[in-house]
């Protein structure tokens, strides 16, 4: 702009300059004057044209400035929109939660080839025990949901199907590979207040401490407590509805859920394998009640609690004409935890009764295709307990490490309805070990111990286990 | 256009049939089918095998079950060694039809889980001793509810013959009151299961459904309207041949090879079946005798009836004779394991020359198994079944 004005000024100055010179020479002849006038007029015409061009350029400039302003306005609107979207997204994201935990183990156990064998052989094994992913979403202040998917032993799985159209009614297995993928929890929660909430869907039963304390940093042993696994489903989940809440330091839960199926009860783990996860559909002709009251919080520290389970188990059998008794099952647990300073002390006692256990044994034994193997006999009473005690060394040496001692005991065949119960399934595992936390999210465990069977002629065996576990939440 | 083609084809047909009138028309009318496969009518074979081998065997087993119960009941207050010997013989007598029947261990014996109830091995001696020490007044109903490893053939064997380590004889005075009660209760449980098995073949194959057909009828009338198990004679023959292969495999690669180990140091006598009575070699030979029964279609010594041998002969007579001799050879080689000094199997696997004889028997069984799998099984697809 300034360059053009300068040009203009120079040209005006030169015209005037020329004019002065022309005046001098004009006097000399009219011809020359006429020439000079013509020349001046031509120059003025050029000047006008230049002025016109300038005016046009100015107006064009004004127009482009206006456009720039419009663009700027648009931009600021867009920026506001984006920031609104980001805020909304962040808000949505804050309602989403993701957690994961998992464990991989190496175990070295001694086992016996058969029931006659009294000289054990050692077997070392690796196991990608489980990888668990938990997705949650908080729809509103009151409504939320959570889904937990577990990959056991590296994935895929098997489903057992009962085909009622086949001649006898037939059990069919579809096996995919070594492990399992299962939905361990899929629940919708409505929680208007701390004191009261409702959850429904596929929910965890509050029976046994493993359901509450199943992340690797929540128990000290390498594998979860064997005593509990020899009696009830580990991390027990069922379809149903439950209420829960906390009042002062009391936590309560009460649930009505799908029951167990006695077709798959076995000598060695009592009612645990009656968990209907092996079927594509869960029979729900017999429902069960589960309840729990804790004082304190087992997840975060010290607590004491009791839990109770009651339900019939015969109605859920696929072959309903084999048994016309209830097979009612009741389980009671008492548990305590003391977690303070360097000390961790946890324990649980579990006791269960099963009615009509002889009739169930007989029905399982004689159902075509069911194949209980040599494990049909069922305990009418069953018991187990564990005590684990740990001491954190953090305060004394500069290593985040806990040393522990553990005792697990279980006897799924504590008593039978008729005759004497064999003691072959009465097991005690005693061990000592360490938990080392290189960072808080990772724990590395080592454990060595002794397994004793109550039968005198079966020798004690030694076991050793190494494990690594992680847990985190976004 | 179409009309033209039709006209042409009519003309051709006319010409051809005119030719046919004068030449040999058989070649033109019937398409030439290359002669593949063989023809055999299997109805008699299946009927004979079912009635004279399988049903007859289970019915003999049920009868031996009755006899065994009587023989053990005689022990209750007896002080006579002859009574114990008689019970031991009754046990061996029941063992024979059962072991021979393992060559056709399909149908009710499988679906009703009768096999583990009767013949679980190994025996859980620890639990058995516990029961004997603390229990009393044993009755059949209670014992039925216990795990299979403290009942059936081998529990009775242990009680009647002793532990079998140094000998297979037991004195009647050694038989405790609890042992007597227990063995009688076991024999009753055993009798019930053998009767159930016999009924399943002859009365109704599903104890819960009185209208269900006897299993023998299902086998004998494959493809009939209410037969959901066997759709054709081919399916029955296949089941029978696979049954033979199954037991040859189990005897050679399981019952003998497992305790045999790969050397004297890995031999494991605790895995020897029927070790208390020293009846192992008789068991194994009876297993292959069962194969022989199915193959020939009748028990040895009975009048000749059709068996799998006739099916094989219809396709390849040389093969049918070869298989028959391989079966006989396997039986002889198993019996020969005992050697000149009548060594029981549990001793033979711990003896250098005994082991050589065991290896010879395993080879004979392997040869038979290969022949059945690679020469007889393919005949099933060559058979122009009805």
Quote the pLDDT of residue B1.
Answer: 46
Average pLDDT over residues A434-441: 95
Average pLDDT over residues A181-204: 94
Q: Find the closest chain B residue to A267 by CA distance.
A: B147
Helices (H), chain B: 2-22, 26-29, 43-48, 56-73, 81-101, 108-111, 114-119, 125-134, 140-144, 153-161, 177-202, 215-220, 233-249, 257-260, 280-296, 308-315, 317-336, 345-348, 352-371, 379-382
Asked if the Cβ–Cβ distance from B147 to A377 is below 8 Å, we say: yes
Quote the pLDDT of residue A114.
Answer: 75
The pTM assigned to this predicted structure is 0.77
Quote the pLDDT of residue A81.
Answer: 93
Quote the pLDDT of residue B19.
Answer: 45
Helix/strand/coil (H/E/C) assignment for every residue in chain A: CHHHHHHHHHHHHHHHHHHHHHHHHHCCCHHHHHHHHHHHHHHHHHHHHHHHHHHHHHHHHHHHHHHHHHHHHHHHHHHHHHHHHHHHHHHHHHHEEEEEEEEEEEEEEEECCCCCCCCCEEEEEEEEEEEEEEEEEECCCCEEEEEEEEEECCCCCEEEEEECCCCCCEEEEEECCCCEEEEEEEEEEEEEECCEEEEEEEEECCCCHHHHCCCHHHCCCCCCCHHHHCCCCCCCEEEEEEEEEEECCEEEEEEEEECCCHHHCECCCECHHHCHHHECCCCCCCEEEEEEEEEECCCCCCEEEEEEEEECCCCCCCCHHHCCCCCCEEEEEEEEEEEECCEEEEEEEEEEEECCHHHHHHHHHCCCCCCCCCCCCCCCEEEEEEEEEEEECCCCCCCCEEEEEEEEEEEEEEECCCCCCCCCCCEEEEEEEEEEEEECCEEEEEEEEEEEECCCCCCCEEEEEEEEEEEEEC
Asked if the Cβ–Cβ distance from B145 to A418 is below 8 Å, we say: yes
Categorize the per-residue pLDDT at B255 as very low, low, confident or very high, splitting at 50, 70 and 90.
very high
Quote the pLDDT of residue A450.
Answer: 96
3-state SS class at B38: strand
Quote the pLDDT of residue B154.
Answer: 95
Quote the pLDDT of residue B29.
Answer: 55
Kindly tell me if the per-residue pLDDT of B73 is higher than 60. yes
Quote the pLDDT of residue A374.
Answer: 80
Kindly tell me if the per-residue pLDDT of A455 is higher than 90. no
Contacts of B122 in chain A (CB under 8 A): 114-116
User: Which of A137-146, A159-168, A393-402, B153-162 shows the lowest mean pLDDT across its residues?
Assistant: A159-168
Categorize the per-residue pLDDT at A15 as very low, low, confident or very high, splitting at 50, 70 and 90.
low
Of A25 and B145, more confident: B145
Kindly tell me if the per-residue pLDDT of A327 is higher than 70. yes
Quote the pLDDT of residue A113.
Answer: 76
In chain B, which residues touch A (CB < 8 A)?
A: 111-113, 116-117, 120, 122-127, 130-131, 134-135, 138, 142-149, 206, 208, 228-229, 270-271
Kindly tell me if the per-residue pLDDT of A312 is higher than 90. yes
State the smallest CA–CA distance between residue B212 and chain A in angstroms: 10
Average pLDDT over residues B102-117: 90
Quote the pLDDT of residue B93.
Answer: 97
Average pLDDT over residues A181-189: 92
Tell me what the pLDDT averaged over chain A comes to: 89
Asked if the Cβ–Cβ distance from A374 to B116 is below 8 Å, we say: yes
Most B CBs within 10 Å, among A119, A368, A371, to test the B interface? A368
Mean pLDDT is highest, among A20-24, A320-324, B18-22, for: A320-324
DSSP B340-366: TTT--HHHHTTSHHHHHHHHHHHHHHH
Who among B134, B135, B147 is closest to A267 (CB)? Answer: B147
Kindly tell me if the per-residue pLDDT of A16 is higher than 80. no
In chain A, which residues touch B (CB < 8 A)?
A: 113-117, 166-168, 267, 321, 358, 361-362, 365-366, 368-371, 373-377, 416-420, 422-424, 455, 457-458
User: Which of A154-158, A240-244, A376-380 shows the lowest mean pLDDT across its residues?
Assistant: A154-158
Kindly tell me if the per-residue pLDDT of A156 is higher than 50. yes
Quote the pLDDT of residue B21.
Answer: 43
Quote the pLDDT of residue B16.
Answer: 47
Kindly tell me if the per-residue pLDDT of A357 is higher than 60. yes
Quote the pLDDT of residue B31.
Answer: 58
Q: Which two tokens stand for residue A50?
A: 């230049």
Asked if the Cβ–Cβ distance from B124 to A116 is below 8 Å, we say: yes
Average pLDDT over residues B203-209: 84
Categorize the per-residue pLDDT at B272 as very low, low, confident or very high, splitting at 50, 70 and 90.
very high
d(CA A290, CA A331): 9
Of B39 and B211, more confident: B39
Average pLDDT over residues B188-215: 91
Average pLDDT over residues B316-338: 96
Categorize the per-residue pLDDT at A164 as very low, low, confident or very high, splitting at 50, 70 and 90.
low
Asked if the Cβ–Cβ distance from B131 to A422 is below 8 Å, we say: yes
User: Which of A371-375, B56-60, B197-201, B344-348 shows the lowest mean pLDDT across its residues?
Assistant: A371-375
d(CA A441, CA B158): 57
State the smallest CA–CA distance between residue B113 and chain A in angstroms: 7
Quick: pLDDT tens for A385-399: 999 999 999 888 889
| CB–CB contacts below 8 A, A to B | 87
Kindly tell me if the per-residue pLDDT of B135 is higher than 60. yes
Of B207 and B186, more confident: B186
Q: Find the closest chain B residue to A457 by CA distance.
A: B126
Who among B111, B123, B229 is closest to A369 (CB)? Answer: B111
Quick: pLDDT tens for B113-128: 899 899 988 888 888 9
Contacts of A167 in chain B (CB under 8 A): 206, 228-229
Q: Are B358 and B305 in contact (CB under 8 A)?
A: no
Of A28 and B293, more confident: B293
- For A210, B132, B168, B348, the CA distances from B275, given in Å and listed in that order, are 45, 21, 9, 12
Average pLDDT over residues B345-366: 95
Categorize the per-residue pLDDT at B2 as very low, low, confident or very high, splitting at 50, 70 and 90.
low
Tell me what the pLDDT averaged over chain B comes to: 89
Asked if the Cβ–Cβ distance from B270 to A116 is below 8 Å, we say: yes
Average pLDDT over residues A389-413: 94
ipTM of the shown complex: 0.72
Of A279 and A52, more confident: A52
3-state SS class at B175: coil
Q: Which residues contact B324 (CB under 8 A, 6 or more apart)?
A: B295, B296, B309
Average pLDDT over residues B250-264: 92
Q: Are A449 and A266 in contact (CB under 8 A)?
A: no
Average pLDDT over residues A220-230: 93
Average pLDDT over residues A173-190: 81
Categorize the per-residue pLDDT at A177 as very low, low, confident or very high, splitting at 50, 70 and 90.
low
Quote the pLDDT of residue B300.
Answer: 93
Q: Which helix (H) or strand (E) holds B255?
A: none
Kindly tell me if the per-residue pLDDT of A25 is higher than 80. no
**The dihedral sign for the CA sequence B8, B10, B11, B15:** positive
Categorize the per-residue pLDDT at B35 as very low, low, confident or very high, splitting at 50, 70 and 90.
low
Quote the pLDDT of residue B46.
Answer: 96
Asked if the Cβ–Cβ distance from A420 to B131 is below 8 Å, we say: yes
Asked if the Cβ–Cβ distance from A116 to B131 is below 8 Å, we say: no
Average pLDDT over residues A2-7: 56
3-state SS class at B373: helix
Contacts of A365 in chain B (CB under 8 A): 113, 117, 144-145
Contacts of B126 in chain A (CB under 8 A): 115, 422, 424, 455, 457-458
Categorize the per-residue pLDDT at B145 as very low, low, confident or very high, splitting at 50, 70 and 90.
confident
Asked if the Cβ–Cβ distance from A419 to B145 is below 8 Å, we say: yes
Quote the pLDDT of residue A61.
Answer: 94
Kindly tell me if the per-residue pLDDT of B20 is higher than 60. no
State the smallest CA–CA distance between residue B117 and chain A in angstroms: 9
Peptide bond between residue A137 and the one before it cis (omega within 30 degrees of 0): no
Contacts of A375 in chain B (CB under 8 A): 147
Quote the pLDDT of residue B7.
Answer: 52
Contacts of A455 in chain B (CB under 8 A): 126-127, 130
């Amino acid at each position: 702009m300034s360059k053009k004005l300068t040009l203009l000024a120079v040209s005006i100055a030169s015209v005037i300059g020329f004019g002065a010179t022309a005046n001098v020479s004009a006097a000399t002849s009219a011809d020359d004057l006429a020439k000079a006038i013509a020349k001046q007029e031509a120059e003025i015409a050029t000047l006008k044209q230049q002025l016109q061009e300038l005016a046009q350029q100015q107006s064009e400039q004004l127009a482009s400035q206006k456009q720039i302003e419009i663009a700027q306005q648009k931009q600021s609107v867009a920026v506001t929109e984006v920031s609104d979207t980001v805020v909304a997204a962040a808000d949505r994201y804050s309602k989403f939660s993701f957690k994961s935990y998992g464990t991989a183990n190496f175990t070295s156990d001694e086992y016996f080839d058969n029931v006659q064998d009294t000289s054990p052989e050692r077997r070392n094994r690796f196991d990608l025990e489980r990888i668990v992913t938990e997705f949650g979403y908080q729809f509103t202040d009151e409504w939320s949901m959570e889904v937990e998917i577990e990959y056991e032993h590296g994935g895929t799985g098997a489903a057992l199907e009962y085909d009622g159209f086949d001649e006898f009614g037939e059990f069919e297995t579809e096996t995919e590979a070594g492990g399992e993928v299962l939905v361990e929890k899929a629940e919708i929660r409505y929680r208007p207040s701390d004191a009261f909430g409702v959850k429904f869907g596929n929910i965890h039963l509050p029976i046994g401490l493993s359901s509450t304390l199943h992340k690797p940093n929540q128990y000290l042993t390498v594998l979860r407590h064997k005593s509990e696994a020899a009696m009830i489903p580990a991390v027990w989940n069922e379809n149903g509805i439950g209420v829960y809440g906390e009042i002062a330091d009391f936590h309560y839960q009460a649930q009505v859920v799908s029951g167990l199926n006695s077709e798959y009860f076995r000598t060695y783990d009592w009612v645990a394998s009656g968990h209907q996860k092996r079927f594509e559909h869960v029979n729900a002709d017999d429902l069960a009640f589960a309840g729990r009251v804790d004082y304190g919080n087992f997840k975060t520290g010290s607590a004491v609690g009791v839990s109770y389970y009651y339900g019939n188990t015969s109605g859920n059998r696929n072959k309903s004409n084999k048994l016309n008794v209830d097979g009612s099952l009741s389980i009671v647990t008492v548990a305590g935890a003391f977690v303070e300073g360097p000390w961790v002390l946890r324990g649980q006692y579990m006791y269960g009764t099963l009615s009509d256990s002889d009739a169930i044994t007989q029905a399982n034994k004689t159902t075509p295709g069911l194949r209980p193997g040599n494990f049909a006999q069922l305990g009418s009473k069953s018991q187990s307990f564990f005590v684990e005690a740990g001491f954190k060394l953090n305060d004394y040496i500069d290593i985040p490490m806990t040393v522990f001692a553990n005792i697990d005991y279980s006897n799924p065949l504590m008593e039978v309805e008729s005759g004497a119960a064999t003691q072959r399934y009465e097991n005690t595992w005693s061990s000592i070990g360490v938990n080392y936390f290189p960072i808080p999210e990772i724990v590395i465990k080592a454990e060595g111990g002794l397994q004793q069977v109550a039968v005198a002629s079966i020798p004690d065996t030694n076991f050793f286990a190494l494990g690594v576990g992680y847990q985190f939440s976004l | 256009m179409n009309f033209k083609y039709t006209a042409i084809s009519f003309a051709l047909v006319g010409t051809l049939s005119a030719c046919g009138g004068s030449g040999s028309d058989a070649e033109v009318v019937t398409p030439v089918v290359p002669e593949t496969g063989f023809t055999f009518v299997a109805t008699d074979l299946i009927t004979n095998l079912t009635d004279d081998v399988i049903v007859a065997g289970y019915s003999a087993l049920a009868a031996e079950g009755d006899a065994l119960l009587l023989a053990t009941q005689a022990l209750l207050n007896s002080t006579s060694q002859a009574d114990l010997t008689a019970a031991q013989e009754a046990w061996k007598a029941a063992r024979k039809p059962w072991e021979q029947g393992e060559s056709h261990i399909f149908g009710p014996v499988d679906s009703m889980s009768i096999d583990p109830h009767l013949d679980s091995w190994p025996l859980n001696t620890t639990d058995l001793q516990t029961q004997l020490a603390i229990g009393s007044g044993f009755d059949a109903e209670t014992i039925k509810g216990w795990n299979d490893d403290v009942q059936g053939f081998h529990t009775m064997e242990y009680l009647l013959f002793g532990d079998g380590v140094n000998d297979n004889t037991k004195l009647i005075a050694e038989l405790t009151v609890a042992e007597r009660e227990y063995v009688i209760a076991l024999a009753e449980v055993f009798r019930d299961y053998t009767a159930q098995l016999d009924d399943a073949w002859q009365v109704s194959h599903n104890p819960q459904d009185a209208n269900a057909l006897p299993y023998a009828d299902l086998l004998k009338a494959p493809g009939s309207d209410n037969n959901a198990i066997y759709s054709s004679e081919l399916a029955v023959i296949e089941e029978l041949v696979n049954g033979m292969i199954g037991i040859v495999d189990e005897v050679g690669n399981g019952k003998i090879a497992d305790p045999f180990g790969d050397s004297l140091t890995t031999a494991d006598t605790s895995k020897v079946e029927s070790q208390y009575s020293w009846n192992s070699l008789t068991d194994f030979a009876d297993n292959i005798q069962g194969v022989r029964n199915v193959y020939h279609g009748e028990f040895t010594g009975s009048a000749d009836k059709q068996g799998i041998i006739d099916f094989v002969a219809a396709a390849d007579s040389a093969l049918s004779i070869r298989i028959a001799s391989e079966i006989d050879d396997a039986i002889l080689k198993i019996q020969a394991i005992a050697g000149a000094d009548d060594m029981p199997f549990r001793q033979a696997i711990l003896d250098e020359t005994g082991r050589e004889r065991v290896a010879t028997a395993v080879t004979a069984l392997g040869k038979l198994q290969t022949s059945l799998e690679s020469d007889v099984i393919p005949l099933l697809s060559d058979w122009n079944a009805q």
